[in-house]
Amino acid sequence: MKQRSWAEPWKVKMVEPLTMTSPRERRVALDAAGFNTFLLRSEDVYIDLLTDSGTSAMSDRQWSALMRGDEAYAGSRNYYELESVVHEVYGYREFIPTHQGRGAEFILSQLQVKPGQWVPGNMYFTTTRYHQELAGGRFIDVIVDEAHDSESEFPFKGNVDLAKLQRLIDTSGRKGIAYLSLETNVNMAGGQPCSMENIRATCALCHHHGIPVYLDATRCVENALFVKCREPGFEQHTIPQIVREICDQTDGCTMSGKKDSLVNIGGFLALNDLTLAEEARNLLVCHEGLQTYGGMAGRDMAAMAVGIRESIEEPHIRARVGQVHYLGQRLLDAGVPIVRPLGGHGIYLDAARFLPHLARCEYPAQALAAAIYLDSGVRTMERGAVSAGRSPDGAEIFPKLELVRLTIPRRVYTQAHMDVTAESIIEVFEHRSEIQGLRMVHEPKRLRFFQARFEPIVA
Ligand code: F0G
Cα R_g (the chain), whole angstroms: 21
Q: Compute, in angstroms, the gap from residue 431 CA to the centroid of ligand 1.
A: 32
Query: Which of 255, 285, 311 is the C-terminal boundary of a domain?
Result: 311
Query: Which of 278, 311, 344 is the C-terminal boundary of a domain?
Result: 311
Residue 94 lies in a domain: yes
- Can you list the alpha helix ranges (DSSP code H) found in 74-219? 77-90, 101-112, 126-134, 162-172, 196-208
Give the model confidence (pLDDT) of 346-372 as tens digits. Answer: 999 999 999 999 999 999 999 999 999
Number of domains in the chain: 2
Give the model confidence (pLDDT) of 130-154 as tens digits. Answer: 999 999 999 999 999 999 999 999 9
Instruction: Kindly state whether residues 346 and 367 are assigned to the same domain.
Output: yes
| Amino acid 5: pLDDT | 82
Q: 271: helix, coil or strand?
A: strand
Residue 6 lies in a domain: no
Q: Compute, in angstroms, the gap from residue 52 CA to the centroid of ligand 1.
A: 9
What is the pLDDT averaged over residues 113-124?
97
Q: Compute, in angstroms, the gap from residue 456 CA to the centroid of ligand 1.
A: 29
- How many angstroms separate the CA atoms of 327 and 423, rounded? 10
What is the CATH number for 430? 3.90.1150.10
At residue 282's C-alpha, the angle toward residues 280 and 283, to 5°, is 65
Instruction: Please choose from 184, 218, 387 the residue to mutate so as to test ligand 1's pocket, defined by most ligand atoms within 8 A of CB.
Output: 218
Cβ burial, residue 245 (10 Å; 0-12/13-18/19+) = middle
According to DSSP, residue 356 is labeled T
Q: How confident is the model at residue 235 (pLDDT cuts 50, 70, 90)?
A: very high
| Residues 36/448, Cβ–Cβ less than 8 Å | no
Nearest CA to ligand 1 atom 8: 101
Instruction: Kindly state whether residues 277 and 151 are assigned to the same domain.
Output: yes
Instruction: Kindly state whether residues 95 and 172 are assigned to the same domain.
Output: yes
* Arithmetic mean of pLDDT over the chain: 97
Domain residues for the domain of 39 are: 23-52+314-456
Please check the confidence at residue 2 and state whether its pLDDT lies above 70.
Answer: yes
Give the model confidence (pLDDT) of 167-223 as tens digits. Answer: 999 999 999 999 999 999 999 999 999 999 999 999 999 999 999 999 999 999 999
| Amino acid 425: pLDDT | 98
Cβ-Cβ contacts under 8 Å for 208 (sequence gap 6 or more): none
Please check the confidence at residue 1 and state whether its pLDDT lies above 70.
Answer: no
Give the model confidence (pLDDT) of 56-108 as tens digits. Answer: 999 999 999 999 999 999 999 999 999 999 999 999 999 999 999 999 999 99
449 is catalytic: yes
Cβ-Cβ contacts under 8 Å for 5 (sequence gap 6 or more): none
Q: 404: helix, coil or strand?
A: strand
φ and ψ of 140, to 5 deg:
-135, 130
| Amino acid 392: pLDDT | 83
What is the pLDDT averaged over residues 390-415?
94
| Amino acid 247: pLDDT | 98
Instruction: Kindly state whether residues 265 and 401 are assigned to the same domain.
Output: no
What is the CATH number for 239? 3.40.640.10
Closest CA to 366 of 259, 256, 258, 443: 443
Query: Which of 311, 329, 346 is the C-terminal boundary of a domain?
Result: 311
Residue 96 lies in a domain: yes
- How many angstroms separate the CA atoms of 35 and 96, rounded? 38
Q: How confident is the model at residue 446 (pLDDT cuts 50, 70, 90)?
A: confident
Total-model pTM = 0.96
Instruction: Kindly state whether residues 289 and 325 are assigned to the same domain.
Output: no
Please check the confidence at residue 459 and state whether its pLDDT lies above 80.
Answer: no
| Amino acid 443: pLDDT | 96
Instruction: Kindly state whether residues 334 and 451 are assigned to the same domain.
Output: yes
What is the pLDDT averaged over residues 422-442?
97
- How many angstroms separate the CA atoms of 160 and 170, rounded? 16
User: Of ligand 1's atoms, which has the minimum distance to the CA of residue 52?
Assistant: 19
φ and ψ of 179, to 5 deg:
-170, 170
According to DSSP, residue 225 is labeled H
What is the pLDDT averaged over residues 247-267?
98
126 is catalytic: yes
Please check the confidence at residue 411 and state whether its pLDDT lies above 80.
Answer: yes
228 is catalytic: no
User: Of ligand 1's atoms, which has the minimum distance to the CA of residue 186?
Assistant: 3
Q: Cα dist. 184→22, 82, 84, 411, 412 in Å? A: 40, 22, 22, 21, 23
